[in-house]
């Protein structure tokens, strides 16, 4: 399976004050001035890798792929693919905020209820996670396992 994670308010703190993870390379994280990631992200990426799933990032921001890769790298993480707003605009033919099927993505983890509604409208699975969900890792794991079992 190919899984994609949203950044803002899902993995990166913007409007919500969720706990943050410790970077694997904190000095480099500070030197590179990358954004901090949500607590549990390393565990969740590891879980996806253990299942043999690809891990992607799908964001509506214009952060460059290079910036996103170095941000993940400071946490010891890597993405198999990155879709930012520029790539979305070039490749997606459907009028939607995000369209994972265009990129062969089987499930999207996102905080947005609007993206969840688009998923229902266009037929793609969205695991909608509230930024205030303190058990978000378990919620995502459970829902992804259910999606994988249904395939």
φ, ψ dihedrals at 146, nearest 5° = -65, -40
Question: Do residues 137 and 48 make contact, with C-beta atoms less than 8 angstroms apart?
Answer: no
- The pTM of the full predicted model, rounded to 2 decimals, is 0.95
pLDDT tens sequence for the chain (151 residues): 999 999 999 999 988 889 999 999 999 999 999 999 999 999 999 999 999 999 999 999 999 999 999 999 999 999 999 999 999 999 999 999 999 999 999 999 999 999 999 999 999 999 999 999 999 999 999 999 999 998 7
Domains located in the chain, CATH noted: 2-150 (3.40.50.1000)
Who's near 101: CB < 8 A, 6+ residues apart? 122, 123, 124
């Amino acid at each position: 399976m190919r899984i994609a994670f949203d950044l803002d308010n899902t993995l990166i703190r913007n409007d919500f004050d969720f706990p943050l993870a410790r970077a694997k390379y904190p000095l480099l994280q500070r030197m590179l001035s990358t954004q901090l990631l949500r607590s549990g992200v390393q565990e969740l990426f590891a879980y996806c890798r253990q299942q043999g799933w690809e891990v992607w990032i799908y964001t509506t921001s214009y952060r460059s792929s290079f910036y996103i890769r170095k941000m993940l790298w400071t946490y010891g993480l890597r993405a198999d693919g990155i879709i930012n707003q520029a790539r979305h605009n070039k490749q997606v033919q459907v009028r939607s905020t995000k369209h994972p099927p265009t990129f062969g993505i089987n499930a999207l983890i996102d905080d947005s209820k609007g993206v969840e509604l688009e998923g229902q409208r266009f037929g793609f699975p969205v695991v909608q996670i509230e930024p205030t969900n303190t058990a978000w890792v378990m919620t995502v794991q459970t829902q992804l396992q259910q999606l994988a079992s249904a395939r």
